[in-house]
Amino acid sequence: MSLKKLLKPFKLLSIAKKAGVVTVLYPYQKPLITSEFRGKIVIDASKCMGCGACANVCPPNALSITETEESVILNYFVGRCIFCGMCADVCPVGAIRVSNEFELATTNIDNLNTVLVHKLKGCVDCGKPFITSRMLENVLKKVPFAEKYINECPDCRRKRFINIVSARKR
């Protein structure tokens, strides 16, 4: 009995034999990733309209929107990304896809940034750039009625509205 107990630790050998070798020769052999794995996100430049919903919801601010005079810049810095995929959930046009890429180490920091520049379209009245052309298309697709005012910037729209109202008052 006590000898049997003493020999119990040697049972490990049979466990090990049954389990076999479970490690892999990474990176020569690829590690197993399940179908659900969330890695780096990929932004489809042909779909993105620069609305900024993703930047708004991103917990670590890996996605950020910068607005300049003539353009909207969407920047994805993978160094901050926590791979939660919230951006893909909220993107209204499905431009963001969560890939299973995870080997992101690089010697050049620029490789960590993905920059997307959207040129802004000018207002028909004052010429001030205010909307990305894809956003405009999208709004029209969803609200065809918007055709009547969508080419004007919010300022001009407001002005026109005030003008109409004041004209009516008169």
Partner 1 sequence: MADSVEETKRNLEEMVNVLKKYADNIEFVERVGLIVRVKKERLREVSRFVHDILDSYFRTMAAVDERPINNTFAAYYVFGKDEMGLNIIIETHTDPLDPEIPSISDLVPAADWYELEAWDLLGIKFTGRRLYRFILPDEWPEGLYPLRKDVDYNLRPVKPLARKASKQAPAGPRIPFGPYHPALHEPEYFELFVEGEKVVDVRYNGFHVHRGIEKLAESPRFTYQKVPFLAERICGICGFVHSVSYTMSVERAAKIDVPERAEYIRSIILEVERLHSHLLWIGVACHLLGYDAGFMHSWRIREKVMVLSELLTGSRKTYGINLVGGVRKDINKDKIQAIMNTLKYIKEEFSKLVEVIAHVPQIVKRATGTGILPRDDARKLSVVGPVARGSGLNRDVRKDYPYAAYPYVSFKVPVYSEGDNLARLFVRIDEVFESINILEQLLDKIPQGPIFAEKIEVPEGVIGIGNVEAPRGEAIHVTITGKGRPYRWRVRAPTYQNIPALKIMLKDAPLADAPLTIASIDPCFSCTDRLLVIDLKTGKAVKKTMEEIIKKKKVN
Partner 2 sequence: MWLDISLTIILLLIMLILPPVLDGIERKIRAKIHSRIGPPSIMQTWYDIRKLFAKELVVTDTGYIMFFIAITLFSMTILALFLLPTGFMNIFSRDNISLLLFSIFILAIQLIWMLLSVAPSNPYSTIGVFREALLGMVNELFFMLGLFALLVYVNGLSFTHLISTSYSITYVLILLLLASYAYVSSGRIPFDIAEAEPELASGILIEFSGPLLGMVLYSNLVKRAILYGFVANLIILPLLGELNLLLKILLFFISLLIIWIIYSVTSIIFARTRVDLAPKTLFFFYLLVTILITITWLLRV
Smallest distance from the beta carbon of 44 to partner 1, in angstroms? 20
Residues 4 to 43: which contact partner 2 by CB under 8 A?
9-10, 12-13, 16, 19-25
Residues 76 and 112 sit within 8 Å (Cβ to Cβ): no
Taking the C-alpha atoms of residue 41 and residue 24, their distance in angstroms, rounded to an integer, is: 26
Choose from partner 2, partner 1, none: what does 1 bind? Cβ within 5-8 Å by kind: none
Smallest distance from the beta carbon of 100 to partner 2, in angstroms? 24
Taking the C-alpha atoms of residue 163 and residue 33, their distance in angstroms, rounded to an integer, is: 61
Taking the C-alpha atoms of residue 163 and residue 169, their distance in angstroms, rounded to an integer, is: 10
Q: Count Cβ atoms within 10 A of the Cβ of residue 96 and give its class: 0-12 exposed, 13-18 middle, 19 or more buried.
A: buried
Of 5, 141, 142, 170, the one binding partner 1 (CB under 8 A) is: 5
Which residue number, 85 or 129, has a Cβ lying nearer to partner 1? 85
Residues 49 to 68: which contact partner 1 by CB under 8 A?
57, 59-61
CA atoms within 13 A on the CB side of 32: 4
Smallest distance from the beta carbon of 16 to partner 2, in angstroms? 5
User: Which positions touch partner 1 (CB under 8 A)?
Assistant: 5-6, 8-9, 11-12, 15-16, 19, 22, 32-38, 57, 59-61, 82-86, 89, 98
